[in-house]
């Protein structure tokens, strides 16, 4: 079995079309007779001249083009399982791909597209005998069980060798002047930066003034009066008051003076005995 050629694949332009006006006519039936005795004869749409008049100059039955789609007047019929080559058949009929089980040497690789007649009819057919090098035109009946074949174009999409673009961060290779740095800023952005900087300066100044004022404020003295604490509940509730006398000027130790107990009022008696009056001179001499 002949496989498509994968070496030195030419490129088939996407706008390529058959070069001759009579190519791929739906009623252009030909019998290509290589060796009818060995079943090497087929009914083909188009004559042998189409290999040069209706295909690109680089075409041959096994070549695979580098492309991305079938050309005009052709449609995709199948895809080769081994080489991923797409087989393009003429769109004049509903062609499918021939099973690749043919025997080498019987030209089966030339006719990769196959279709079957939908109805029986009498048609005009041109017979070319390659062994006798003769051409004859005649009428014959086509039957529904017979097949019509066609030449094919094959292409495959080459794999992409380009790597996806990578995004890299810009690196600085030198110093830039202020003009270069701010040249890309708009006037609105520059004004916003200026207002923000001014607000920051004002905020810093207010903070410094607040700290200065806080340092200047005098701290409270240590002789701040304190409130007396409550007496302990262990002190006797009805203890009599005790009075301490201060030390006198002669260095005498202080002594404790207990208050005199108050006596209940008592009425003096009317007459407790004789009273004697002291002499005034005696009192004066005693005081001296």
Asked, for residue 216, whether it belongs to a domain, the answer is: no
* Residue 90: predicted pLDDT: 92
Q: Is residue 85 part of a domain?
A: yes
List strand residue ranges (DSSP E) for the chain, in order. 29-35, 40-45, 65-66, 74-79, 86-90, 96-97, 113-116, 121-129, 134-142, 147-150, 153-156, 243-244, 256-257
Residue 228 scores a pLDDT above 50: no
Q: Is residue 241 part of a domain?
A: no
pLDDT of residue 80: 72
Rounded (10°) CA dihedral 78, 43, 72, 4? 50
Q: Are 252 and 245 in contact (CB under 8 A)?
A: no
Give the domain range for residue 119: 29-156
Residue range 172-222, pLDDT digits in tens: 454 444 444 444 556 666 677 877 788 888 888 888 878 877 776 555 555
- Position 6 in a domain: no
Pick the closest to residue 2 from 107, 130, 156, 158 (CA basis).
Answer: 107
So what's the pLDDT on residue 177? Answer: 47
Beta carbons within 8 Å of 245's beta carbon, 6+ residues apart: 254, 255, 256, 257
Checking if the pLDDT of 107 tops 90, the result is no
Alpha-carbon dihedral angle through residues 273, 274, 279, 284, given to the nearest 10 degrees: 0
For residue 246, name the pLDDT band (cuts at 50, 70, 90).
very low
| CB 155 within 8 Å of CB 65 | yes
Please report whether residue 273 resides in a domain: no
Q: What is the pTM for the complete model shown?
A: 0.51
Q: Decide if 152 contacts 44 (C-beta within 8 A).
A: no
Q: Evaluate whether residue 45 is within a structural domain.
A: yes
Q: Are 92 and 157 in contact (CB under 8 A)?
A: no
Q: Supply the pLDDT for residue 267.
A: 58
Question: What does the pLDDT read at residue 185?
Answer: 57
If you average pLDDT over every residue of the chain, what do you get? 72
pLDDT higher at 83 or 39: 39
What does the pLDDT read at residue 181?
44
pLDDT in tens, 43-79: 999 999 999 888 888 889 889 998 888 888 899 998 8
Note whether 42 and 111 are within 8 A (CB): yes
In this prediction, residue 197 carries a pLDDT of: 80
**Is residue 178 situated within a structural domain?**
no
266 domain-assigned: no
Give me the number of domains the chain comprises.
1
Q: Is the pLDDT of residue 282 over 60?
A: no
Angle, CA of 205, 209 and 213, to the nearest 5°: 175
**Contact predicate 128/30, CB 8 Å:** yes
């Amino acid at each position: 079995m002949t496989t498509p050629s994968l070496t030195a694949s030419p490129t088939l332009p996407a706008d390529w079309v058959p070069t001759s006006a009579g190519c791929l006519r739906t009623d252009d039936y030909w019998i290509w007779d290589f060796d009818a005795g060995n079943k090497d004869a087929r009914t083909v749409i188009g004559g042998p001249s189409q290999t040069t008049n209706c295909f690109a100059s680089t075409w041959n039955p096994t070549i695979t083009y580098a492309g991305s789609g079938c050309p005009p007047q052709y449609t995709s019929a199948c895809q080769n399982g081994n080489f991923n080559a797409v087989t393009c058949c003429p769109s004049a009929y509903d062609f499918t791909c021939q099973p690749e089980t043919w025997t080498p040497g019987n030209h089966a690789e030339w006719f990769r597209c196959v279709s079957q007649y939908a109805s029986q009819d009498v048609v005009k057919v041109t017979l070319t005998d390659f062994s006798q090098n003769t051409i004859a035109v005649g009428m014959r009946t086509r039957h529904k069980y017979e097949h019509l074949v066609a030449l094919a174009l094959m292409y495959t999409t080459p794999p992409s060798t380009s790597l996806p673009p990578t995004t890299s961060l810009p690196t600085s290779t030198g110093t830039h002047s202020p003009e270069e740095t701010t040249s890309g800023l708009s006037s609105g952005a520059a004004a916003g930066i200026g207002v923000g900087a001014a607000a920051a300066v004002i905020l810093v100044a207010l903070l410094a003034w607040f700290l200065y004022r806080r340092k200047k404020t005098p701290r409270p003295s240590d002789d701040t009066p304190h409130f007396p604490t409550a007496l302990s509940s262990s002190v006797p509730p009805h203890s009599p008051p005790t009075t301490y006398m201060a030390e006198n000027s002669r260095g005498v130790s202080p002594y404790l003076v207990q208050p005199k107990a108050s006596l209940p009022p008592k009425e003096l008696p009317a007459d407790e005995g004789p009273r004697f009056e002291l002499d005034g001179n005696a009192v004066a001499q005693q005081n001296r």
